[in-house]
């Protein structure tokens, strides 16, 4: 059997019925863009270790290590299932050497930039911008924010529950926001809301109403809200950063304020504190310098 024929069968039988829609779309894209053009015309049993490593080496020369590792994961999964289902006698993915994954540099807003953003939103009549404040002080991902309903906020206890996320995608011939369960169990969490934000949220609920914190009953997609944030930065003459920088900014400010890593890890929905440390500890040079200078005062 040709690899391209098996990939289509694998996607249909093994992936689509057992994974989230977004995962299926991701796998299908990897197969269509990378695996089928390069390896699709090989017979399954001809995909030797040398062929596979040559493919990985070629990809590594043109794509980031993170992209290559995603493709390798799909490649391994598909070929292991081919053996399991009897479409191939054996597979040779065990010898693939992966490129080292590179951790993206953490981008966050300076305290001065954060103050400009907060002042603008506080003085604006656009209540949907409240979601940006919420991300700055809870570390929500954009998908979690757009899926957040007023029913997920307990004003009495001062908490919000992250139980779902959303992404943009095509469904029934239309581009829309698709709400589903979070990617991992760690992403489901209860976050205390800073008491200074409770009044802001209550006011937004009175003015917006509806189902969702961002947009009420209007359909606000992830991409449209990202665009809103891009326009806000342009208006304030702040160098452009992606929406995820709000989450990085929250984590950085939390560490600067002395929040312990275990607590921060749970609020961010990370698997463990090591993930949090690896991702954010190196972004705190100014804080490190302040602490070292404080220690230096002991020198006589």
Ranges of each domain in the chain: 3-95, 111-290
More confident residue, 278 or 152: 152
pLDDT of 95: 84
Average pLDDT, the chain: 90
Q: Give the residue carrying structure tokens 């300076």.
A: 110
Q: Which CATH fold would you assign to the domain 3-95? A: DNA polymerase; domain 1 (1.10.150)
pLDDT tens digits, residue range 37-74?
999 999 999 999 999 999 999 999 999 888 999 999 99
Where does 111-290 sit in CATH, by number? 1.10.443.10
Cα distance between residue 268 and residue 226, in whole Å? 20
Mean pLDDT of the region 72-93: 94
Given pLDDT bands bounded at 50, 70 and 90, which one contains residue 284?
A: low
pLDDT tens digits, residue range 222-252?
999 999 999 999 999 999 999 999 999 999 8
Phi-psi category of residue 210: left, alpha or beta, with phi > 0 → left and psi -120 to 50 → alpha: left
Given pLDDT bands bounded at 50, 70 and 90, which one contains residue 181?
A: confident
Given pLDDT bands bounded at 50, 70 and 90, which one contains residue 103?
A: low
Cα distance between residue 142 and residue 134, in whole Å? 10
Reported as type and span, the H/E element at residue 110 is none
Spatial contact of 207 and 214, defined as CB atoms under 8 Å apart: no
Residues in Cβ contact with 233 at an 8 Å cutoff, skipping those fewer than 6 apart: 239, 240, 241
């Amino acid at each position: 059997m040709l690899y391209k024929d098996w990939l289509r069968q694998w996607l249909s039988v093994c992936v689509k019925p057992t994974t989230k829609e977004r995962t299926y779309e991701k796998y299908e894209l990897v197969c269509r863009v990378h695996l089928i053009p390069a390896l699709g015309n090989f017979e399954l049993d001809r995909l030797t270790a040398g062929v596979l490593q040559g493919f990985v080496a070629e990809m590594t020369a043109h794509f980031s290590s993170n992209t290559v590792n995603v493709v390798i994961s799909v490649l391994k999964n598909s070929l292991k299932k081919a053996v399991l289902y009897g479409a191939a006698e054996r597979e040779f993915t065990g010898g693939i050497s992966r490129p080292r994954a590179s951790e993206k540099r953490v981008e966050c807003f300076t305290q001065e930039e954060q103050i400009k953003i907060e002042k603008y939103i506080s003085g604006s009549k656009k209540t949907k911008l409240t979601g940006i404040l919420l991300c700055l002080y809870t570390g929500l991902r954009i998908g979690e924010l757009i899926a957040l309903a007023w029913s997920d906020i307990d004003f009495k206890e001062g908490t919000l529950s992250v139980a779902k996320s959303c992404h943009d995608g095509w469904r029934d011939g239309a581009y829309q926001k698709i709400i589903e369960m979070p990617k991992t169990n760690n992403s489901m969490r209860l976050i205390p809301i800073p008491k200074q934000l409770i009044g802001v949220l209550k006011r937004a609920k009175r003015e917006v109403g509806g189902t969702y914190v961002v947009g009420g009953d209007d359909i606000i997609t992830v991409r449209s809200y990202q665009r809103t944030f891009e326009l806000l930065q342009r208006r304030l003459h702040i160098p452009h950063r992606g929406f995820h920088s709000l989450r990085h900014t929250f984590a950085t400010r939390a560490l600067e304020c002395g929040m312990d890593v275990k607590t921060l890890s749970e609020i961010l929905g990370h698997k463990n504190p090591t993930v949090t440390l690896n991702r954010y500890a190196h972004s705190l040079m100014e804080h490190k310098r302040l602490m070292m200078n404080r220690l230096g005062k002991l020198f006589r």
